[in-house]
Structures are given as C-alpha cells and as structure tokens.
C-alpha cells in the first residue's frame, strides 16, 4: 500500500492543477461539455477503456487489472452551481454566474489523480476498477439514475464514494452505517383566491393571507404528525405574490423542500401536506394546484462495506480521526448507486486548520483545503486495492 500512497503523493501537484482548471471553467448540470471531454481525454491518455455520453453527459472509464477478480466502482461528480463566486483567489471562476461551490472540481481531480496512480499498479490489481464520472448531481433528476440505466454499474460488485466536506476539519473522516443523507423532495403550490382593493378585503379572497396560514399550518405536520423519534424537515423557501402594495393578491406561488430518511415518513408528508392545503383553501373558498416531486432517495450505506472503510480509513496517512457522524439532511444522488450494489459513501474533512469557520457548501465564498484530495484519494485507493486483492 505504501507504493500506492507514494504515487498519489507524486500526483498531488497535478491534482491541484486539474482542480483549479476545473474551478476556473465551471459547467452547470446538464450543460457539461468541456468537463467530460477533459475527463475522457485524461483516461484515454492513460490507456483506459473509455465511454462518453453515458446517461447523457457522463463518462465511464475502466482499468483492467493484471489478474482476474471482482469489480469496484468509484464515483465523482463534476457539475457546478449557478452562483457568482466572491472568492479572491488565483483560480477564481472565469464564467460569470457559475461556480464550483460544492467541491465537485475536487472530487473529479481526486479521482483522476487516483486513477493515474492505480494505473501504474494495474499488474498488481486482481480485478477491474470502474471510474464513474457523473454529470448533474446538483439538479434532480440528476445524472446517477440515467448513467445506471445506461449500464455504468454493469458487472460492478461494490461501489465507494466520498464528498469533500468543508465544515469538517482536515484529517477527519466521517462514516455512518445506514442512512447518512436524506431524501430530498420538492413541493410546488399555487393558491388561487380573488383579487380586490386592499381597503375592501370582504369583497376578495386574500391569497397572501391564505398562503401565510398554510405555511404556518404545514409546520404542525412536523411537530404534531411525525413521530418525534423520526426526522423530517419541511421548508417553504419561495413565497411570491407580485402585486401592488394596496391590492389584495389573487394568486400566490409557493415552493419548498421536504427532507426525510424513511419512506413511510416521506409518503405521509406528501399526502398530509396536500390535506392541510386543501383544508386551508376550503375554509375560505380558494382553490389550488399541488405538485410534489420526489427527488433523490436517502443515501443508505451498507453495513459490511461501511465497516470495511471505517476500519481501513484509520490507517491512511493524513487521517487523524474516523468518526461516526449523525445523518445529514442534505441530498445526494449517490443513493441510486447504493440501491443497486453494495457500498458506502463517506465524508472527507476539508476545512483548513487556520479557518475558524468554513463557508458552507453552496455559498459564494465556498472553498476547501486541497490537501483533503490526498486523503480522499488514499482512502478510496486503499479501499479499492484491499477489496480487490482480498477477493482474488
């Protein structure tokens, strides 16, 4: 394993260079063109078997080891976000209104640097390694599902993945068996009332007042309808009534997100949220449109594979602590891979030691300690090499 770690260290400067190049030229979900071409060219130069346009814009590369064996898949996403970067760094985004604000540039550079190191050792590898470079993680329906439908997991025995996690200090690895990230759903609502003069509410059906009441009523679902030992979040993040100040609104548009871990709770909220909406509108003679869109399911880590990574991560250079973390309410379409094959998804701490606090993911000043890429690559690399060579 020392050889693999040495090769990854040797590739570090190139990994940083690749990460910064990708950071300067971000591409949004379902709009990626140059990024997948860059990734495919890198793997082709190594001599890997490469397939482009997988499930749309994804790239899959395969390294065949020198000995027969099982197949491990490793996944990294590469899409950016519609955010104007506010960091003053040499590698600042050169594309207005677009930024790598979640670390996907680092995920990609990590996997490419690891692929190069593993390629050198291919004759010592018993089995195959599938490098899944996924587009469109940030926007549902995401890239994972169509890539799976297009065969990216065919023949795969196990999958490993990690997320560079800026709130967690460099040197820490966060693991969790079972649900580690939540199902992320979207709700869109339009409430139709009857417009009128602001001075004569009795001649109108005030859509703003109704919508406000609904938002408050909906929170009762979390506090009074969901088992307090089960987790759920309901957030209405968009509330819009474009109207003059002295006019009663005829229409209000709402949108929000629901986060859950258990399918039973997810279904309950989907149904009962509409029941609350129906009752609120019925009381005052209003009508509504209701659209509930299921996003990514909960990321559910398999027991055996999580224990495997937990054990080996503590021996990886740079890892100071391996912690079992509480589940996160954020969503990730890595969930779809884990529905098909065994595996685990863990978080790699990426907060610089000198930072008192880190800007959160999806923030205009988000950044991470690039040394986290070394830890991520070594952890994924050791998991891959150990798994394959113990199953030959």
Binding residues for Mn(2+): 102, 104, 138, 163, 362
Cα-based distances in Å from 75 to 66, 79, 124, 216, 384:
22, 13, 22, 40, 12
How big is the chain by its Cα radius of gyration, in Å?
24
Residues marked as catalytic:
79, 137
Residue by residue, what is the 3-state secondary structure of the chain? CHHHHHHHHHCHHHHHHHHHHHHHCCCECCCCCHHHHHHHHHHHHHCCEEEEEECCCEEEEEEECCEEEEEEEEEEECCEECCCCCCCCCCCCCCCCCECCCCHHHHHHHHHHHHHHHHHCHHHCEEEEEEEEECCCCCCCCCHHHHHHCCCCCCCCEEEEEEEEEEEECCEEEECCEEEECEEEEEEEEEECECEECCCHHHCECHHHHHHHHHHHHHHHHHHHCCCCCCEEEEEEEEECCCCCCEECCEEEEEEEEEECCHHHHHHHHHHHHHHHHHHHHCCCCEEEEEEEEEECCEEECHHHHHHHHHHHCCCCCCCEEEECCCECCCCCHHHHHHHCCEEEEEEEEECCCCCCCCCCCCCCCCCCCCHHHHHHHHHHHHHHHHHHCCC
Note whether 332 and 298 are within 8 A (CB): no
Residues 6+ apart with CB under 8 A from 366: 87, 99, 101, 102, 103, 166, 359, 360
**Residues contributing to the annotated binding site:** 102, 104, 138, 163, 362
Residue for token pair 């190069």: 116
Give dist(CA 13, CA 158) in Å, integer. Answer: 29
């Amino acid at each position: 394993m020392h050889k693999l770690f040495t090769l990854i260290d040797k590739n570090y400067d190139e990994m940083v260079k690749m990460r910064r190049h990708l950071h300067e030229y971000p591409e949004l979900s379902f709009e990626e063109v140059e990024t997948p071409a860059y990734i495919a060219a890198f793997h082709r130069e190594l001599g890997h078997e490469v397939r482009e346009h997988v499930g749309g814009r994804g790239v899959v590369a395969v390294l065949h080891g020198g000995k027969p064996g099982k197949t491990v898949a490793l996944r990294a996403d590469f899409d950016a976000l519609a955010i104007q970067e506010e960091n003053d760094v040499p590698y600042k985004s050169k594309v207005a209104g677009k930024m790598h604000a979640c670390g996907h540039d680092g995920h990609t550079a990590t996997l490419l640097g690891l692929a190069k190191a593993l390629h050198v050792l291919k004759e010592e590898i018993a089995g195959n390694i599938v490098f899944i470079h996924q587009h469109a993680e940030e926007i549902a329906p995401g890239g994972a599902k169509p890539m799976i439908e297009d065969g990216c997991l065919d023949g795969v025995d196990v999958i490993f993945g990690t997320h560079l996690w800026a709130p967690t200090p460099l040197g820490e690895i966060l693991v969790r068996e079972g649900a580690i990230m939540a199902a992320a759903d979207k709700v869109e609502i339009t409430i139709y009332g009857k417009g009128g003069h602001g001075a004569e509410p009795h001649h109108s059906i005030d859509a703003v007042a109704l919508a406000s009441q609904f938002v408050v009523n909906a929170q009762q679902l979390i506090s009074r309808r969901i088992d307090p030992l089960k987790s759920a979040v309901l957030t209405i993040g968009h509330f819009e009534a474009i109207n003059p100040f002295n006019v009663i609104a005829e229409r209000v548009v709402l949108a929000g997100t629901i986060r859950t871990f258990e399918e039973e709770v997810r279904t309950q909220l989907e149904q009962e949220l509409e029941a609350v909406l129906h009752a609120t509108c019925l009381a005052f003679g209003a009508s509504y449109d209701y659209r509930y869109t299921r996003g990514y399911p909960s990321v559910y880590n398999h027991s055996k594979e999580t224990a495997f990574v937990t054990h080996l991560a503590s021996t990886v250079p740079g890892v100071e602590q391996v912690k079992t973390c509480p589940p996160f309410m954020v969503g990730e379409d890595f969930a779809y891979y884990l529905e098909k094959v065994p595996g685990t998804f863990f978080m790699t701490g990426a907060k610089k030691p000198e930072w008192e606090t880190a800007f959160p993911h999806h923030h205009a000043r988000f950044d991470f300690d690039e040394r986290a890429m070394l830890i991520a690559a070594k952890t994924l690399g050791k998991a891959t090499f150990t798994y394959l060579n113990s199953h030959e």
